[in-house]
Structure 1
């Protein structure tokens, strides 16, 4: 039950207006667009990228407005999850301490790393479905800073609360406090919920970009997005037109100091060469592949030296039969415990019968492992810029020779190695 977003169609509002992502090259462009009859929803990257709504088929009219260099219809995305067909095993009784089931934190040496840093004084923005504001292990959520950026919001009354489940699980992986059940990579960080999904699914790239731009505006140390388009796109793809706008916004965000962590995708796709996914296939993103409890690439994870920066635990093994225990090693973790355990909305049923917690898998679960590690690095070195933070995480990774491993990039992250190296330099 891991997740990555899949394209669901053109981004449009209930009134029929279509959303466009526009590149601009001059002051006053937003006014020019308004004068031409368009509505400007977001001004991003210091006004060089605009999110605009207007009539269907108006891309050419937009491009004709003074100050506009390009206009592309936005697309809507929703979650797509790798699946296996099996019954869930029985889990420990309700209310038990669950850290012993967090193999992901054990593999990456997170718990001993907390002797050096816990993320105190940092913040991580979760650009997702929102976060359960009532979860006992998520008492470090800053609801006041939380925002919702949703083109056609069907649950505006919930604000940054979770409209599904995905954001709550991601948030726990980053920074669950361990108050009752699980511990995140950075349990003392501040979590900022930025909801870009309505309850019925369908986040637009315009809103995703606005959410990440907002994360930089509030000074978040990291912004995690565990979403993206499915498959491997080629240079002639219509989606290639969005790549420049995404890169412009993301580079603006990282220049402001916010590191961006993104999931590589769940399509077993080779991103080598000219192939790409969005929004993670731009240089400003720390793109994360998913690994198993055995430190193998999970069977669903995308790979490719042109895109993958590091690997991190995402759950399940390198094959479905090993995931289900039909083959493998005697000490393999059984299904579903070989998924990633994290927080779950308290008002939703847990698929494993453990209220408030669930095991799911995907590159969506791998990216927040790295976002939490960004918080640990920033606690120890608050003046490090986004590139320096990424470099420290890569230098602390293991299991790869160099930084061009097609599956793991610089390697599978190791929190203890990373923070020890920073502490030794002080």
Structure 2
């Protein structure tokens, strides 16, 4: 009888003991913001002297991303060197209204071999091509990047991004880089490109050499419709890994901006623009705010002219606001997805909700706004965002929907304008974008000043 009672009693004891462990000992990802004039040495000493796990410097906002227990947070808030402690929240891609829609549409991805069966490396088809999987395969994460935990943990792990990206598989380069001669009819012009009258604008501007930072999930660096327009690529989740896209979202967004006008696949809004792929979202399409802020800092340091953020969060975090203001003060145009939280009112996500950012909602081929597109007084512009065909992983093409797809249309338009009006200020370009739309008889909380028009934007005085 005594033996039978031992195990339940032991389990009860362990349960009671665990329940008595203070929640304050749970480690959380936070952004530690310092007061002005605190030296780097002082910052590092403070971090080392407390129960913190190192993350990364966020020089743009005089902060450091760390993991720490709640008990330490309470003490540090009393420290004269600390200005505040912000949560390092997750940020998500704004690409679809649901995973179900996302998966169904990505199944229809087309390979380069579907367009040109004789392309080097393409094998003759003896049977129907297997349907591509809805999302990239996930290989085991490398041991040098431990998977973090979102939930609190008594035994904290090193600070890394959520669900750390697996080691990217290298996509073989398309050879040769120069395309074989192709019929002009081989290239498809997506409906959104025609709708915004981009072909008429190309007579005057292709966005030549305008630097566009795409803060997203990376890029398919060998995609034949992108390869000549990729000028930079950085992984902010883990600087030891490549910026190769392991989700597909970043590649799709980049193609909408700057897929080449090369008689191949599709063409982007600004086919002469230069893409800088800043990987801050992982294979799940999510990332941490600290990685976004670091990418924004990089954008300033490397003289980006436009930043595209097809991502968002419902959390209004002061650290993000401060970073956005500094990017604005650096003279960089910022464009962000309004979000896919409609039809609720006042549903625009951050950073799109900030006045320093151009907030973009989605429209369809009939100039209607889909029910899922976020609404709010912060919406500035509408752009094509339903069934948008663009570049995808492994040299593919696919249709996707979301305000994530609408946002790069506006970024591309800004590139067209800047290339045709060099030296024009970011504020001037933003006003021209808003003042030269096609009028759509919808409430401004749905579409802002209207649906964008490339020709009007390029030609405006």
Q: Same fold (TM over 0.5)?
A: yes
* Residues 387 and 269 of structure 1: CA distance in aligned 2, closer, same or farther (over 3 Å): farther
Q: Which runs of 5+ in 1 are unaligned?
A: 1-15, 234-238, 316-338, 347-354
Match of 1:41 in 2: 56
* Residues 380 and 59 of structure 1: CA distance in aligned 2, closer, same or farther (over 3 Å): farther
1:413 and 2:452 aligned: yes
> Aligned runs of 1:13-412 on 2, under 5 Å?
18-28=28-38, 30-36=40-46, 37=48, 38=52, 39=54, 41-45=56-60, 48-57=61-70, 58-79=72-93, 81-83=96-98, 94-95=115-116, 97=185, 99-142=187-230, 145-150=232-237, 153=238, 158-179=241-262, 180-229=264-313, 239-240=315-316, 242=317, 244-272=318-346, 277-305=349-377, 307-315=378-386, 339-346=387-394, 356-400=396-440, 405-412=444-451
Range with greater deviation from structure 2 (27-36 or 391-400): 27-36
Tell me by how many angstroms 1:43 deviates.
Answer: 2.6
Are the counterparts in 1 of residues 341 and 348 from structure 2 also a CA contact under 8 Å? no
Q: Which runs of 5+ in 2 are unaligned?
A: 1-25, 117-182
* Residues 102 and 148 of structure 1: CA distance in aligned 2, closer, same or farther (over 3 Å): same
2:216 and 2:222 map into 1 onto residues whose CA distance is 17
Match of 2:133 in 1: none
2:265 and 2:396 map into 1 onto residues whose CA distance is 9
State the number of aligned residues.
Answer: 355
Tell me by how many angstroms 1:59 deviates.
Answer: 2.8
Tell me by how many angstroms 1:63 deviates.
Answer: 2.6
* Residues 221 and 90 of structure 1: CA distance in aligned 2, closer, same or farther (over 3 Å): closer
Tell me by how many angstroms 1:282 deviates.
Answer: 0.9
* Residues 395 and 98 of structure 1: CA distance in aligned 2, closer, same or farther (over 3 Å): farther
Tell me by how many angstroms 1:23 deviates.
Answer: 3.5
Match of 2:142 in 1: none
1:206 and 1:90 map into 2 onto residues whose CA distance is 32
Tell me by how many angstroms 1:253 deviates.
Answer: 0.7
Are the counterparts in 2 of residues 131 and 160 from structure 1 also a CA contact under 8 Å? yes
Tell me by how many angstroms 1:408 deviates.
Answer: 1.0
Secondary structure of 2:424 counterpart: coil
2:35 and 2:438 map into 1 onto residues whose CA distance is 43
TM-superposition CA deviations, 1:179-210 (whole Å, max 9, x none): 31111111111100100123355300110111
Secondary structure of 1:55 counterpart: strand
* Residues 415 and 62 of structure 1: CA distance in aligned 2, closer, same or farther (over 3 Å): farther
Tell me by how many angstroms 1:281 deviates.
Answer: 1.4
Match of 1:6 in 2: none
Question: As a proportion of its length, which structure holds more helix?
Answer: 2
TM-score relative to the length of structure 1: 0.76
Largest Rg, 1 or 2: 2
Tell me by how many angstroms 1:293 deviates.
Answer: 0.3
TM-superposition CA deviations, 1:63-90 (whole Å, max 9, x none): 3333322111212234463246679889
2:278 and 2:109 map into 1 onto residues whose CA distance is 34
Tell me by how many angstroms 1:173 deviates.
Answer: 0.2
2:243 and 2:352 map into 1 onto residues whose CA distance is 23
Tell me by how many angstroms 1:394 deviates.
Answer: 0.7
